[in-house]
Structure 1
């Protein structure tokens, strides 16, 4: 088990966060970012896969992590940040963590002890609102960007004409991928968008996120 391990939901999340850390001043240090492995879903029902499979494996991961190491977790809040936190809070309570807060707008950090590792949690986008990592990424688009309203107009048009095939919960994904497809290089990924400064790393939400990572993984 790495000394500093950050668990994320998918490969896109991993590459985006890695590039974000490369492009921002921080003292996170050497960090292993590991996406959830789809092979671990083998034999599970559809409603047991994805985030549910990741959370089901979390107790085992906590027990397997040395008290001297640090474990972080980034998940999407999806339809409810409160609901997602209730599920994770119960897992952490069962593992032995105490004094868990009700809210943590700047990210959760729990001290370790002789048995438990230092643990951190960030729920995308901002630990408070429903949403996914694409909602977080949208906050990194420059305010003066002229494509945002055009993408929203296009997506609204699909909905009005009953041509929207994706569910409303996936609109943030459709927005970001459409917005990226309309850039100078349409094949641009999240990570490249950060490195090419198409996205800003100076947004308040981004600064809070990087600060959380630094505080969690740069513990003295």
Structure 2
């Protein structure tokens, strides 16, 4: 049987992105689909930013079947440098004639010369450094804010006392520390959204939701 091909596609860095996005979108009122073949979007996990290359983007757009293509990547240490890297890759594609020098705060959405929509979102908010876990920090519910501040302090103190996680992963350490203190402790991040431990409807999350809806015509 031929493999199902979905014309609306999203490229992400890793498994956490792959699992979080459907839960996040469903919690914002859009039914994702009960089965993979019913999903409103096909998400491809690429195994890291370094694998979201010109060749991959070009191949996705040149299939002749892709109508909408999203790229969701982490800013890591510098959102501007990450944007320039993606921009340079995309501008090698003939159907993409122009991209702005800076990514809009609301995320990028353009129409290619071939009539496809392409969108780019740099986690957490297209401006600051960070990653998916930084974005998840925007979902801490109001009643959890005090413990969240304490979790941040504890994670940083642990780093000062010799914890071996990379400094650039401090946001990961903070969110997982906070999750370890919830009921039930140690939920995975997509489960934390699904079971309302995190609040995916906070105002700072809505920018991404609006970008997603606009890109995929939802």
Is the pair's TM-score, using the shorter chain for normalization, greater than 0.5?
Answer: yes
After superposition, give the CA deviation of every residue in 1:61-91 in whole Å (9 maximum; x if it has no partner): 3443427611111000111111011111111
The structure-2 alpha-carbon separation of the partners of 1:7 and 1:59, relative to structure 1 and needing over 3 Å to count, comes to closer
Counterpart residue number, 1:32:
42
Is the Cα contact below 8 Å between 2:133 and 2:175 reproduced in 1?
A: yes
Q: Give the superposed CA RMSD.
A: 2.1
TM-score by length of 1: 0.85
Aligned to 2:35: none
Answering whether residue 21 of structure 2 is matched by residue 23 of structure 1, we say: no
1:94 alignment partner in structure 2: 92
Does residue 1:5 correspond to 2:9, yes or no? Answer: yes
Q: How many angstroms apart in 2 are the aligned matches of 1:79 and 1:33?
A: 25
Instruction: Give the superposition deviation at 1:53.
Output: 2.1
Gapped runs of 5+ residues in structure 1? Answer: 39-49
* CA contact 1:74–1:123 (8 Å) conserved in 2: yes
- Give ranges in structure 2 of 5+ residues lacking alignment: 33-38
* Corresponding position: 1:14 with 2:18: yes
* Higher RCO (C-alpha under 8 Å, 6+ residues apart): 1
**Structure 1: distance between partners of 2:156 and 2:64:** 49
| Deviation of 1:99 (Å) | 3.0
* Counterparts in 2 of 1:27 and 1:16: CA distance versus 1, 3 Å: closer
Matched residue count: 205
